[in-house]
Amino acid sequence: MGKTEAKRHAAQEAVGLVEEGMIVGLGTGSSAAIAIELLGQRVAGGLQVRGVPTSEATAAQARALGIPLVGLDVIDHVDVTLDGADEILEDGSAIKGGGGALLREKVVAALTREFRVAVVDASKLVRRLGRFPLPVEVVPFARPAVERAIAKLGGQPAWRRRDGAAVLTDNGNHLIDARFEPRDGWEEIASALSLLPGVVAHGLFLDCFDVIVVGEDSGAQLLRVIRAQERFPLL
């Protein structure tokens, strides 16, 4: 078995946490897509939920599966969010944004009242964040200035492009993948990036997840995060 099967085990465990009548945040990425597929099966079997997608790709998948969708103009909170992570610590802090949906993922996470569930395979659980480049979403006009600022913070910025053209987010923005050395403390970098004019969102989700479901070949392990206080911004 490989990572796909491990992700499926994690997704099965995570989707089992969804209850009747919940508003569910639907993440973006390969693990989230599996969770959405399995949630669609439960919906087809009679489960009544509404979904809040974090990307246009996720919205399209959910619609195809018959999962009712709702926008932030209709609801003011999300009950539970199912999402993946590019890297995650046992304290629920993560780097996200490899799929380019970090801004909408962060908004939905901030609106989640009950618990945010990370659906990952065992390779994503790390001791220190930073092996995966940190995605930063920026308005196109500001990208060169933000790249210089990231370099001054000690990072190595790389403009995300495909076939020579800029990769655009669903919001029409550019992405910078900033490589920093793995480290224990990210608060200063998170604060500095948040203050940079032109930065729309960065991929540091510090103290974000409440439950981590780690998929392995033999099944899935559910880790509940216990922290002294909530640091992830709630809307």
Residues assigned a catalytic role:
105
User: In this structure, what DSSP letter does residue 198 have?
Assistant: T
The position carrying tokens 């932030």 is: 72
Task: Tell me the one-letter amino acid at 105.
Answer: E
Let me know how long the chain is: 235
Please name the residues in contact with 195: beta carbons below 8 A apart, sequence gap of 6 or more: none
Pairing of strands 174-179, 156-159: antiparallel
Torsion angles phi and psi, residue 91, rounded to 5: -85, 5
Please name the residues in contact with 165: beta carbons below 8 A apart, sequence gap of 6 or more: none
Please name the residues in contact with 190: beta carbons below 8 A apart, sequence gap of 6 or more: 202, 204, 206
Q: How many angstroms separate the CA atoms of 24 and 54, rounded?
A: 11
Largest CA distance in the chain: 54
